Amino acid sequence: MASDLTSVRFPWVALALSFLSPGVGHIYCGRIAKGLFLYSARFLLPLLCIIAAFTQPSNGVLLGLILLPATVTVIIYLYSPIDAYAIAKRVDLDYQMKEYNRASLYWMLIAIQLAYPVALTWGIREYVYEAFLIPERSMNPSLLAGDRILVNKRPMRDGFPQRGDLVVFRAPPAEMGRNWVKRVIGVAGDEIAIRGREIKVNGKQLERERVPMEAVTQLRGQVTGEIYDESLTGHRYRVLLDDDAFDSDSQHEINVTVPDRSIFVMGDNRDRSKDSRHIGPIHVGEVVGHVDYIFLPAETWSRFGVYRD
């Protein structure tokens, strides 16, 4: 509904409003539909890309999901001020004010859009994905020191970790609040028997098959020892056995039944990992989430993308 008031639309005001929040300059000039489209595009596009990321797409699609919001945001921020400025110059000097032509509305829209990235980042980190840096080699060869990973927090809200999952959890208090990443070997009720390098879950020994060194040449910068494919209830992943780090005198026999709401975890770098062999089972309440993506690999970009065993 229009009012009887008229007012000049100043181009510099339209320009400034659009710099602060794309779309608001158009609303100032009476182009409500176009203004709301530009305004809402920056809200919806990141959310749609985050939802799409849950499907664990191919690396090419994943890269597109990263670049698309950034590219569109840059385009909107360049286009919106220029277009709003041009519209304001064309508007009649006796522009008839609309009900939405209020300074309070402009500032409210600007405040919402300025707060949105902060709220979105907090919400994603708290409930959806959180980024972590791998500081050491206890998960070689699956994760290398220097890898940056994205941890999916949603599954931990929907159910318990499963055998073979790669999970991040809060370490014991003695580790000063650090987060650890390990592989789930056993879940509640499982009987775990470990003797040296031999691991049995519910009486069944985990099978290993040696991986030829030429198949892992891209990892040689960090990996020393022999790499094996290990199988555990449908999961097939790689572990590292290092004779230089293995101390047979320090290996104790472990026999434990995993308590309710707990998991037994081990590092894939079996001879250089502090895990449930030393600190016991981990309560599922300490689990942050499971590893979904390596978004900044340490050694080679061939490891970028969805984490797969």
**Same domain flag for 145 and 118:** no
Tokens describing residue 220: 């040689």
For 167, the 3-state DSSP assignment is strand
**Looking at the predicted structure, is the pLDDT value of residue 285 above 60?**
yes
Residues 114 and 263 in one domain: no
Give pLDDT, residue 219: 61
| Residues 97 and 139 occupy one common structural domain | no
39: number of CA atoms within 13 Å, CB side?
Answer: 25
* % of the chain with per-residue pLDDT over 70: 89
Are 56 and 153 in a shared domain?
no
Looking at the fold, whether 179 and 215 belong to one and the same domain comes out as yes
Considering the domain architecture, whether residues 20 and 166 belong to the same structural domain is answered as no
Q: Does residue 19 sit in the same domain as residue 38?
A: yes
> Each residue of 3-30: pLDDT tens digit?
556 688 899 999 999 999 999 999 999 9
Could you give the C-alpha distances from 66 to 61, 73, 136, 240, 265, in angstroms and in order?
A: 9, 12, 27, 32, 32
287 Cβ contact list (under 8 Å, min separation 6): 156, 161, 167, 168, 169, 263
Both 94 and 146 in one domain: the answer is: no
Cα–Cα distance between 244 and 226 in angstroms, integer? 11
Residue 3: predicted pLDDT: 55
Q: Is the pLDDT at 1 greater than 50, yes or no?
A: no
- Residues 196-246 have pLDDT tens digits of 889 999 999 999 999 887 666 666 566 678 899 999 988 899 999 987 766
Last residue in a domain, options 112, 128, 144: 128
141 preceded by cis ω (within 30°)?
yes
Q: Which of 102, 128, 154 marks a domain boundary?
A: 128
The pTM of this model reads 0.78
171 shares a domain with 30: no
Check whether residue 63 and residue 87 sit in a common domain: yes
Q: How far apart are CA 206 and CA 239, in angstroms?
A: 12
Query: How many structural domains is the chain composed of?
Result: 2
pLDDT digits (tens, 9 = 90+) for 75-96: 999 999 999 999 999 987 778 8
Same domain for 230 and 296?
Answer: yes
Q: How confident is the model at residue 102 (pLDDT cuts 50, 70, 90)?
A: very high
Separation between Cα atoms, residue 191 and residue 203, nearest integer Å: 7
- Domain endpoint, select from 94, 111, 128: 128
- For residue 50, pLDDT over 80 is answered with no
Q: What span, in angstroms and rounded, lies between the C-alpha atoms of 56 and 293?
A: 9
Give me the CATH number covering residue 180.
Answer: 2.10.109.10
Say if residue 16 is in the same domain as residue 114.
yes
Range of the domain at 111: 2-128
DSSP strand E in the chain: where? 2-7, 95-98, 129-133, 148-152, 166-170, 179-187, 191-195, 198-201, 204-205, 207-210, 226-232, 235-241, 254-257, 262-266, 282-283, 287-296, 305-306
